[in-house]
Amino acid sequence: MLTIAGRKFRSRLFGGTGKFSSPEVMKESLAASGCEMVTVALRRVDLNNPADDIMRVLDRDRYLFLPNTSGARDAGEAIRLARLARASGGGEWLKLEVTPDPRTLLPDPIETLKATEVLVKEGFKVLPYINADPILALRLQDAGAVAVMPLGSPIGTNQGVLTRFQIEIIIAQARVPVIVDAGLGAPSHVAEAMEMGADAVLVNTAIAVAGDPVRMARAFALAVEAGRIAYEAGLGAVRKDAAPSSPEDGLGFLR
Amino acid sequence: MKIVCNGQALEIAPGTRVADYLSQLGLETPSVVVECDGMILSREEYESHALQDGSVLELIRFVGGG
């Protein structure tokens, strides 16, 4: 079973709550995914529609909230969002995101490390979203991050695990759980990440924008489970040259 | 008096407290957090905290995100 900061998770699939066509579709999809932790963002209340409240459909007893700091462009903005999240009843868990460039949404490693150092001291359980940088992952765990969340590919791109080489190193070195986040666009992508030994994956866009998000959530859940079982079972070695699966002996009768 | 709430300039009655203002908007819900002039207010402060002319208010809540 996966344990992060002392909390146990049966499911190794974490869900996002953005981009769903309706709160009801989101609720049903999260249920189908079997996830136990969900990300949420913080934004201004829409004064023209103050009744619009995602909390109407999200069951706090069922899901651990992982508020994100999406939209933050530097450490200061991320820290402000983190404090607002805690004051909103979001708890201590935090997906720390610092993305200064709206075109790539790639995380700023220096600002992310700075914010982690401050927020860990304030008692947050910090899960930083990072580029797949093994050295940064080590620096963050030394700074007190309870997990690291390297990206497979840029947010919302559905391109899969483009950072395989670096993520393999992160997994080999990490003392904290490794959650592959961002860009995982198909069940095969999450299966790949889990087969590599990732502790968990986080999926939002690929489920939310699917033709049938509820069925897609189920497909992702199965792929995460399959990938994890395969990792635990031990995959066969990759080799360059062919090796016959059938016996080479006993063919004397042919020639 | 004038305040700015979530980026919008608004006219409100002098002496309006944060609790009054949230009540007018129908936002007496624990999921909304209030930041006034850069300071996060605790729920206990809503009753006592009177808005001032020029106050900058941010009303923030959780929304869907990844």
Residue B29 has pLDDT above 80, yes or no: no
Specify which residues A68 forms β-bridges with: A95
**ipTM for the predicted complex:** 0.91
B-chain CB neighbours of A19 within 8 Å are 64, 66
Burial A5-32 (b: 16+ CB within 10 A, else e): eeeebebbbbbbbbbbeebebbbbbbbb
**In this complex, do B27 and A17 lie within 8 Å of one another by their Cβ atoms?**
no
Predicted TM-score (pTM) of the model is: 0.92
Split at pLDDT 50, 70, 90, the class of A53 is confident
Which chain A residue's Cα is nearest to B60?
A: A44
Q: Which CATH superfamily is domain A2-254 in?
A: Aldolase class I (3.20.20.70)
Strand ranges inside chain A, DSSP E: 2-4, 7-9, 13-15, 37-44, 64-67, 93-96, 125-130, 149-150, 179-181, 200-203
Residue A192 Ramachandran class (φ > 0 left, ψ -120 to 50 alpha, else beta): alpha
Nearest-CA distance from A227 to chain B in Å?
22
Is residue B55 within 8 Å of B37, Cβ to Cβ?
yes
- Extents of the domains making up chain A: 2-254
Average pLDDT score over residue span A112-133: 98
Distance CA A80, CA A11 (A): 30
Write out pLDDT tens, residues A69-105. Answer: 999 999 999 999 999 999 988 789 999 999 999 999 9
Higher-pLDDT residue of A184 and A255 is A184
In sequence order, what DSSP letters do the residues of A240-254 get, joined into one string? SS---SS-SSS-GGG
Radius of gyration over alpha carbons of chain B, in Å?
Answer: 12
Q: pLDDT per residue over A143-176, tens digit each?
A: 999 999 999 999 999 999 999 999 999 999 999 9
Please tell me the distance from the alpha carbon of residue A55 to that of residue B31, in angstroms, as a whole number: 7
Q: Which two tokens stand for residue A107?
A: 């995380």
Alpha helix stretches (DSSP H) within A106-147: 109-121, 134-142
- Residue type (1 letter), A57: V
Q: Could you confirm whether A95 is annotated as catalytic?
A: yes
Structural domains in chain B? 2-61 (3.10.20.30)
| Preferred mutation among A19, A39, A88, A184 to probe B, highest tally of B CBs within 10 A | A88
Write down the pLDDT at residue A49: 85
* Two structure tokens written together for A202: 């986080």
Q: In chain B, which residue's Cα lies nearest the Cα of A14? A: B66
Give B48 to chain A, closest Cα distance, Å. 18
Nearest to B66 among A45, A84, A205 (CB): A205
Question: Best residue in A19, A44, A45 to probe B by mutation, most B CBs within 10 Å?
Answer: A45
